[in-house]
Structure 1
Amino acid sequence: MAERKMVSVQEIAGIYPVKDADRIEKAKVLGWIVVVGKDMGLKPGDHVAYFEVDCLLPADDPRYAAFQKRGVKTLIVEDPNTGKDVEVSGHVLRTVRLRGTYSQGLIMPLSELGIDPETPVGADVTREAGVYKYEELPPLRGGDMIGPFGSAYASKSDAPRLQNLTDVWSELVGLRATPTVKVDGTSTTIARDDNGIAHVYSRNWEIKPECTNMVVAQRDGLVDALEPGMAIQFELVGLGIQSNRLKLRRPTPFVFAVWRNHRKINRSDWPQACLNHAVPVLDAARWRLEGSVEDMVAKVDGLRGCVTDGVLDEGIVWHLDADQLLSSDVAGRLSANRCFKIINNKYLLKHGL
């Protein structure tokens, strides 16, 4: 899957009023709503820079000075010039609610960023904007990492948000997909290579096999279920793991994908051990793909109790059945993962994400 475009050139799809507000309004970009100042003078058709949530706006960049008073976080990144780890501090864009309206991301004029106004819509301008993707956990450091993510047997665990897929929604609606709960944990991939050796990976790195992720997978029979050339992907959740937002006491794996020779396979073909520890499947009729992108996002808002009674769930992932043909547009956007997600806005607000 292509790397997430943290900042891209996009077109304003619509401008709408905010109830009882004189100085702000809503701007629609792709499937996202962003609250903006009326003094920006935005109108449908304008080309702007759209910053996705999770962007870290560096404190030492004068273009983002005004944002720093809203709160600052620190991220460890690799300096592209030296290859060494350096600290970067800045404000992180999160989901907020203003006058009853969810606002996700940031819109800035291209001119304020020094970006050529003729840059085509959809272009990735993250580098020009000088921002970083903020991840809640700091990257693993030298003692834990033993190599890069191994992509021979599975792609990195990632799914685009439906709000970024508005241009292919009309095709997605007609496809067969299995809706599953998105579980908020530590993403893990375990692959057994052609020589029978099992490797364990975080989102971006191969890590030591004695890590908790591997120990739990071995305890629950997930490693033994893998034949050479197979891989499983799961979220590890429980006490002491990230923020344990699902309030589970025991480290628990939730399998969301199984691969064979770098091809994601349908749940009906999973080994029994993976099914025993799978993410919950939701009712296909209730969560079928229908209506508009906005309709689906609103429907997921407030989802709770699918994993832990009474507790908000992170969202839903729709996994496309493996035996159906996709257009080049959809296949290119989803890549081998063949899935997409909607994150529960109430969950984002509750946890400051």
Structure 2
Amino acid sequence: MERKLVTIRRIKELLPIKDADRIQLAIIDGWKTIVQKGAFNVGDYGIYFEIDSLLNLDDERFSFIQTTKTMNGVKSRYLRTIRLRGEISQGLIMPISSIKEIDSIVNGQPENFLEHDFADSIGVIKYEEPESNLSGEKMSSFPFYIEKTGEDRIQNVYEKLKERYEDVEFYPTLKMDGSSMTVCYVNNPAYFIGQDGIDRSENMKEQTWVASHRQVIRKPQPDPETGLLRKNAFYDTYEKLGLADKLTDWCIKNSKQIAIQGELLGPKIQKNYEKFEKNTFKAFYVYFIDEARRATPAEFDEICKELNIETVKIYEPIKPFKMFNNVDEILKFAEGFSEQGVEREGLVFKSNVLDKSGRPISFKAISNKYLVNKK
């Protein structure tokens, strides 16, 4: 699910900060952001930039943002979670009038644009960590027929979910900091990927492949000089676990086309935050391609057991919207330790209940401790 990085939001509350005369804490839906005193009143609309936004380095309107990141060779200003005067501050909110590109679109009617993402209007993009140099050669872009991983943050959906699902059980699952890996089986020729590096012919009846977050990975090819295979962590793990055969057998038996999405963890994957000694694949979703939906927790558990595929840790189900009174309590619950004793990234909450579009209800809570410490 694509994040809306630049949106119009309303100031819900303005809270004082201890021993701070010039700043206060703005409550924007479930987010907390430090603002200058007098910049906003309760009920005002503003332009809210979510954390992970990359903003134009040369735009003077953002010159006060000191943190920078480089992505695809371009250096930009970067919005990250910070702690100031003992308070967590996430994102940035600015008066609508201060961003002319958006002000001219809104034209004095901000309430009509609450669902709109203005990122393109002002050239804001989401920062993404560079993929591991062990991800291999690109065979194609990530396929259109599989939904990329990602959930809404609880800060953006708390009120809506609490109103509708207070009595619903969710399974908290461990969110891990590795590299996204997807394995897939298809037998519909419209879904076949046909570039160099894969055995494809007119008589081909089925296909399996492995992908990173952004691309399907080409089968390792011999180095033209040494003749040795150019190995990569994704394909190596895919082959060692026998995922192609496992998926093929299960899908033929059950007349399905599916993808299994998970986290690749290991010594040279994303600086090995999780401290794994060898490359390890942990599944966290199954995607039914024909139904264009993710599996429910119950379906996921059954399939992974049948395939003997390791999963991320799944905790006992709870009713979060009855158990917790606000966003802060859910975020606090998301704090804790991962498998190897490091500060966990957070939790993803999944329910067996489907929403109106037929998708299992889910959301994520990212640990503020993790975010503050992550550079």
> 2 CA distance for matches of 1:287 and 1:303?
17
Within-5 A mapping of 1:243-254: 243-254=271-282
Give how far 1:296 is off: 3.6
> 1 CA distance for matches of 2:42 and 2:37?
13
**Bigger Rg over Cα:** 2
1:201 pairs with 2:211: yes
For the 8 Å contact 1:185–1:244, the answer to whether it is kept is yes
> 2 CA distance for matches of 1:336 and 1:204?
23
1:348 pairs with 2:371: yes
The Cα RMSD (Å) is 2.5
- TM-score normalised per structure 2: 0.80
Give how far 1:4 is off: 1.0
Residue deviations 1:155-212 (CA, integer Å, cap 9, x gap): 1111111111034122233323221100111011111111331122222322223342
> 1 CA distance for matches of 2:132 and 2:318?
39
Q: Which residue of 2 aligns with 1:326?
A: 355
Give how far 1:122 is off: 2.8
Consecutive unaligned residues in structure 1, runs of 5 or more: 77-86
Task: State the percentage of identical aligned residues.
Answer: 33
Q: Which residue of 1 aligns with 2:71?
A: 75
> 2 CA distance for matches of 1:297 and 1:287?
7
Residues 59 and 295 of structure 1, relative CA distance in 2, 3 Å threshold: closer
For the 8 Å contact 1:162–1:293, the answer to whether it is kept is no
> 2 CA distance for matches of 1:230 and 1:337?
16
Question: Partner of 1:346: helix, strand, or coil?
Answer: helix
Q: Which residue of 2 aligns with 1:315?
A: 346
Q: Which residue of 2 aligns with 1:232?
A: 260
> 2 CA distance for matches of 1:291 and 1:347?
21
1:159 pairs with 2:190: no
Residue deviations 1:255-283 (CA, integer Å, cap 9, x gap): 00112333322233214365541000113
Question: Partner of 1:243: helix, strand, or coil?
Answer: helix
Q: Higher mean Cα deviation, 30-39 or 260-269?
A: 260-269
Question: Partner of 1:267: helix, strand, or coil?
Answer: helix
Consecutive unaligned residues in structure 2, runs of 5 or more: 188-204, 221-231, 252-256
- Match of 1:190, as an amino acid? V
Q: Which residue of 2 aligns with 1:19?
A: 18
Question: Partner of 2:271: helix, strand, or coil?
Answer: coil
- TM-score normalised per structure 1: 0.85
Q: Which residue of 1 aligns with 2:52?
A: 54
Residue deviations 1:283-333 (CA, integer Å, cap 9, x gap): 3249676333424434335311x411x311110001221xx3424xxx5xx
> 1 CA distance for matches of 2:178 and 2:284?
12
Q: Which residue of 1 aligns with 2:143?
A: 150
Within-5 A mapping of 1:165-314: 165-169=157-161, 170-194=163-187, 195-210=205-220, 211-227=232-248, 228=251, 229-260=257-288, 261=290, 262-265=292-295, 266-272=299-305, 276-285=309-318, 290-300=323-333, 302-304=335-337, 306-308=338-340, 310-314=341-345
Give how far 1:65 is off: 2.3
Question: Partner of 1:107: helix, strand, or coil?
Answer: strand
- Match of 1:99, as an amino acid? R
For the 8 Å contact 2:265–2:272, the answer to whether it is kept is yes
Q: Which residue of 2 aligns with 1:83?
A: none
For the 8 Å contact 2:184–2:258, the answer to whether it is kept is yes
Residue deviations 1:189-237 (CA, integer Å, cap 9, x gap): 1111113311222223222233421321321233322134111001111
User: How many residue pairs end up in the alignment?
Assistant: 327
Q: Higher mean Cα deviation, 16-25 or 290-299?
A: 290-299
> 2 CA distance for matches of 1:148 and 1:29?
36
- Match of 2:151, as an amino acid? A
- Match of 2:81, as an amino acid? T
